[in-house]
Amino acid sequence: MNFLKIYILLFIGLVTFPALAQNITLEKSKKLALKNNRILKESKLKLEASEKVKQNAFTKYFPKISANASAIRSSDYLLDIKTPEMNLPVYDGNPANIGTATQFAYVPPISIQTLDYANTALITAVQPLYTGGRIKNGNKLAKLGTEISKYQVTLSTDQILTKTENYYWQLVALNEKSVTLNSYEKLLLRLQKEVQDFFDAGIVTKSDLLKVKLELNKVEANKLKLDNGTEMLKMVFSQHIGIPYKSSLQINDSIINILPPENYFIKPTIGLKNRPEYNMLNKAVDAGVLQKKMAKGKFLPELAVGATELYLDAYKQKNNYGLAFATISIPISDWWGGSYKMQEHTIKIKIAENNLVEKSELLKLQINKSYINLKNSYKQIEVAKKSLNQSLAYQKELEDNYDAGLTSTSDLLEARAITQKAKDDLIDAKSTYKIKVANYLLSIGKTIM
């Protein structure tokens, strides 16, 4: 019964242990990178901010409404008027009789004390009718800022996806190297057993056995280097896609599908137009033109109409007053420097245009260079395949000669080492090609999710 329990526990452990490994595909890696990457998050926040700027610019089309209220209380009357009593001559219509008037009107003393408080409320609405085009061009400029932010998000996304592929295919290459290295180790272990048997039988010398053991020691050292490199790359990869590092991380893919460079090629002029950088350079020129128009609007007249409603509580009376008005503002003194400001913006536009031409040429050079690198990388795969086939044929011949006793253990070890290096070279060539594909797609603005 106890043995049965042990077997059950062992079976459960064997079944569940592989499930603890963290398997990940290229597609999942890209999704995680886009979800967790901080640079992309920052780009999206900037896009959100530019959208708010755009919304704020649109409100400039509507009237500006302001409201003010005030309350005044005084420790004494602000209006304090006192007049003494008096007799005023009665005017009979003849100016000559004023000085000798015989009739008088009595005026009692007067005391006026008021305005020890005042409450006011004022609301004003001003509708701009003409501002030199600044509202219209300001909205265009805000919209342009949003478009540039969108291109920046696209650029960040493409760069993150390309970097993810770079890390991913490097891990795939290391995994495949580990497989070939383990296979090579198994061959050496079988050879060691054979040589040990031959040595025990006195057929070979001890030096042959030592040579095999030395090669096994090299394999062990290479395995340690490979494991360390894999773990370091896993750490970097995990940080890049935003997941906790686990040594159990496993890459599901292998380098199988290798398509020729022609499958990815597009004309550099078309690829240039797909680049977010190229579109941002064009938008920079457009922004310069709009900024010049905005500056010009500052030197043009401004026309606005408005209305005001005033509530006044003073003199122990409450009154409402309505007022409509129109205003025109002409910045006469600014005209002197305005022409120089326009020249400044004209120069800035030319700088942006020159920058567009220069950077466009550099981007096309980058596209051409990326494609040349892609073609050269593909040729390296062909060379590596040819070398591997030749090394396998050479190894097969030496193995047959070794079995027939016609070659030494050293020659056989050398042949197998050459084959092992050829396999690693082919793996490197394929993984490098995958990375070159990703880089080329980035250069033509066609990064694939």
Please state which of the four CATH numbers 1.20.1600.10, 1.20.140.10, 3.20.20.70, 2.60.40.10 is assigned to the domain occupying 21-61+132-298+335-443: 1.20.1600.10
CA 367 – CA 440 distance, rounded (Å): 7
State residue 15's pLDDT score: 42
For the chain, the domains span 21-61+132-298+335-443
Tokens of 306: 């408005």
State residue 449's pLDDT score: 64
- From residue 149, alpha-carbon distances to 44, 328, 360 in Å are 8, 37, 20
Residue 280: which of 369, 101, 386, 149 has the closest Cα? 149
* Dihedral Cα 213, 214, 218, 223, nearest 10 deg: 20
CA 114 – CA 401 distance, rounded (Å): 128
Length of the chain: 449
Residue 255: which of 438, 21, 33 has the closest Cα? 438
- Residues of the chain predicted below pLDDT 70: 1-21, 78-80, 92, 98-99, 101, 111, 113-115, 315, 448-449
Structure pTM? 0.79
Residue recorded with tokens 């004022």: 122
What region does 315 belong to: left with phi over 0, alpha with psi -120 to 50, or beta?
A: left
State residue 252's pLDDT score: 81
Evaluated on CA atoms 22, 26, 29, 35, the torsion sign reads negative
* Dihedral Cα 432, 435, 441, 443, nearest 10 deg: -90
Tokens of 51: 């959208």
Residue recorded with tokens 């292998």: 254
State residue 7's pLDDT score: 41
Q: CB neighbours of 297 closer than 8 A, spacing ≥ 6?
A: 131, 132, 133, 134, 137
Residue 276: which of 363, 185, 375 has the closest Cα? 363
DSSP 3-state of 439:
helix
